[in-house]
Amino acid sequence: MFKWTLPAAFAAAGTGLAATPAFAQSLDDQVNQIFAVSTGWFVTLIFSNFPGTAFPWIVAWLVIGATVFTLYFGFVQFRVIRHSIALVKGDYSDPKNAGEVSHFQALATALSGTVGLGNIAGVAVAIGIGGPGATFWMILAGLMGMASKFTECTLGVKYRNEYADGRVSGGPMYYLTKGFAERGLPGGKILAVLFSIFCILGALGGGNMFQANQAHQQITGVVGQYPGWITGLVFAGLVFAVIVGGIKSIAKVTEKVVPFMGILYVGTALIIIAMNYHLVGWALSQIFVGAFTGLGVAGGMVGALIQGFKRAAFSNEAGVGSAAIAHSAVKTNEPITEGFVSLLEPFIDTVIVCTMTALVIIITQQLVTDPATGLYLLNEAGNAVRTIGDTSGVGLTSAAFGSAISWFPYVLALAVVLFAFSTMITWSYYGLKAWTYLFGEGERKELVFKVIFCVFVVIGAAAQLEPVIDFSDAAIFAMAVVNIIGLYFLMPIVKRELESYVERLKSGEIKKFA
């Protein structure tokens, strides 16, 4: 769901500082400039590279976090995955609790917030720049990210708030506050407040403006150019109807169509792969060889690695803390079970969906190779692999699917728009929870946030506000900085829960119902 032109952030931040005559400025330019000047430093800080490399430290932060959790919990993601699937199927759900939130429902809702542009456009960028080898590193990062999700979602359920009227809400702001207090650690409240601020900004930006912006671009790609505010108003109207008007039917339609679109996307990818089954072995060898040699891409092996890690982190949000908010409403007496279920999320998002996109792009041979050496050729700028028709991002994915099934780009455009809408609905909720944590609950206060959210939909679709969107993306990753610090301090609590549960599962104390 994230932007794939980070260098543009720095370019925009730079141009924003340059003085231009005031009379020549449109409103967009003015907004751009104000934002760039006041927030450019923050974007630069979050997305800055390690000295002398093109490796953003925030990506290393997420990957190191995922590795620490993977080792600390003894590769929990591989040990429990069968139990995770049994939990999602409902084998361990008490029939008496029918009508409450099931594991499946919590997982599906969290997934609808993460599956989206990251899987379709982000992967294309990774392969366009890092070559097929990026896929290997992306999958590896996805597998590690499962442990981060497991940690944060277990804590999300364990420290959720259950109100007298029966509502349930949870997330990093609650486990940072309550968990730190329980362990007698200082600073939980500060981390929670910081997390909430970043979460609101991230919700308005990456979870809203960016989505509206990309949806508009997809629609104009199919029907031709028209002003963005029209898309913005339609989207804002729909979002308003769902989050303020409580119009269930729109939400219901989206929530039903989005999973269908996801299945259609993966299904179509599988069909294209099956149509070219004789190339599967070759594609896999390209992925493995490319992962360790780069096969001629810019930056070689390291270039492939950075791209793979980056896109996995940007796509599945493991470590960001957002999913813990959605997962915490599940009905269970064992918080750890939701951790088990949530670790399927990066698996589905990255290891399955992202890999499908990657395989289709590789197998349909969108990347141009030198027939003599077998290495990939670079484009004229020398910063990415040359592609047939010079496509990149969502255009590359679209071209790859379109080369096999000519009408699929239209379906893809529709899918992107729907994914964008469902991501907006989910992130409006994440933002709202952070908002009520800071300002307290109450219909008036909540309405203020919801109206602000809808206004930002219009702004996002109407304007090319690069610095604004980059700033908001930076805010989402700032959430990960705060969240993972918290997770390091709270992971012993999760370990206790894990050991106790596994023991009871082995002894037969925890039984299947079905």
Partner 1 sequence: MLEKFVVGYDGSETARRALDFAVARATVQNGSIVLVHVLEWSPYSFLTPTELEERHMRRRQEMERAEAAVMAPVIKELTAQGVNVTPVMRYGKTADILCAVAREESAVQIFVGREGHSALEARLFGSVAGALVQTAPVPCTIVP
Nearer to partner 1 (CB atom), residue 430 or residue 471: 430
Nearer to partner 1 (CB atom), residue 123 or residue 153: 153
Size of the site for partner 1 (CB under 8 A): 37
Q: Does 300 bind partner 1 (CB under 8 A)?
A: no
**Whole-number Å distance between alpha carbons of 470 and 71:** 33
User: How many CA atoms lie less than 13 Å away from 274 in the CB half-sphere?
Assistant: 6
Shortest separation between residue 171's beta carbon and partner 1, angstroms: 11
Binding residue for partner 1 (CB under 8 A) from 100, 234, 296, 378?
100
All residues at 6 or more sequence positions from 458 whose CB lies less than 8 Å from its CB, including other chains: 212, 229, 232, 233, 235, 236
Q: What does the chain come to in residues? A: 514
Nearer to partner 1 (CB atom), residue 70 or residue 426: 426
475: number of Cβ within 10 Å: 24
Q: Does 242 bind partner 1 (CB under 8 A)?
A: yes
**Whole-number Å distance between alpha carbons of 319 and 316:** 9
Nearer to partner 1 (CB atom), residue 441 or residue 503: 441
Shortest separation between residue 248's beta carbon and partner 1, angstroms: 8
Q: Per CB under 8 A, which region of 30-38, 221-229, 253-261, 336-344 contacts partner 1? A: 253-261
**Whole-number Å distance between alpha carbons of 53 and 60:** 12
Shortest separation between residue 112's beta carbon and partner 1, angstroms: 8
Shortest separation between residue 327's beta carbon and partner 1, angstroms: 9
Q: Which of the residues 107 through 146 are near partner 1 (CB under 8 A)? A: 108-109, 112-113
Q: Are 354 and 143 in contact (CB under 8 A)?
A: no
Q: Are 87 and 106 in contact (CB under 8 A)?
A: no
Residue 168: strand, helix, or coil: strand
Q: Per CB under 8 A, which region of 18-26, 103-111, 207-215, 334-342 contacts partner 1? A: 103-111
Q: Does 106 bind partner 1 (CB under 8 A)?
A: yes
Of the candidates 302, 196, 280, 256, the residue with the CA atom closest to the CA atom of residue 421: 256
Q: Does 93 bind partner 1 (CB under 8 A)?
A: yes
Shortest separation between residue 326's beta carbon and partner 1, angstroms: 5
**Whole-number Å distance between alpha carbons of 478 and 177:** 18
Binding residue for partner 1 (CB under 8 A) from 329, 360, 415, 416?
329
Contact map string, positions 159 to 178, toward partner 1, x by CB under 8 A: ---x--xxxxx---------
Q: Does 243 bind partner 1 (CB under 8 A)?
A: yes
Shortest separation between residue 86's beta carbon and partner 1, angstroms: 13
**Whole-number Å distance between alpha carbons of 293 and 507:** 48
Binding residue for partner 1 (CB under 8 A) from 57, 67, 185, 259?
259
HEC per residue, 129-151: HHCCHHHHHHHHHHHHHHHHHHH
Binding residue for partner 1 (CB under 8 A) from 35, 55, 340, 430?
430
Q: Per CB under 8 A, which region of 30-38, 60-68, 255-263, 290-298 contacts partner 1? A: 255-263
User: Which residue intervals of 277-393 are DSSP H helices?
Assistant: 280-293, 300-316, 322-327, 335-342, 344-346, 355-363
Q: Is the dihedral of CA 34, 40, 43, 47 positive or negative?
A: positive
Shortest separation between residue 438's beta carbon and partner 1, angstroms: 18
Q: Does 91 bind partner 1 (CB under 8 A)?
A: no
Q: Does 353 bind partner 1 (CB under 8 A)?
A: no
Letter string b/e over residues 143-157, b meaning 16 or more CB atoms within 10 A of that residue's CB? bbbbbbbbbbbbbbb
Shortest separation between residue 449's beta carbon and partner 1, angstroms: 13
Of the candidates 434, 471, 145, 121, the residue with the CA atom closest to the CA atom of residue 309: 145
- Span between the terminal Cα atoms of the chain, in Å: 37
Shortest separation between residue 101's beta carbon and partner 1, angstroms: 5
Shortest separation between residue 169's beta carbon and partner 1, angstroms: 6
Instruction: State phi, psi for 170 to the nearest 5 degrees.
Output: -150, -175
Residue 487, both tokens: 């997770």
Residue 161 belongs to what H/E stretch? strand 161-162
Nearer to partner 1 (CB atom), residue 106 or residue 490: 106
Q: Per CB under 8 A, which region of 115-123, 136-144, 183-191, 322-330 contacts partner 1? A: 322-330
Q: Is the dihedral of CA 95, 263, 220, 3 positive or negative?
A: positive
Q: Does 95 bind partner 1 (CB under 8 A)?
A: yes
Binding residue for partner 1 (CB under 8 A) from 256, 263, 270, 302?
256
Binding residue for partner 1 (CB under 8 A) from 301, 304, 326, 459?
326
Q: Does 255 bind partner 1 (CB under 8 A)?
A: yes
Give me the residues that bind partner 1 (CB under 8 A), please. 90, 93, 95, 98-102, 104-106, 108-109, 112-113, 162, 165-169, 242-243, 251, 255-256, 258-259, 325-326, 329-331, 425-426, 429-430
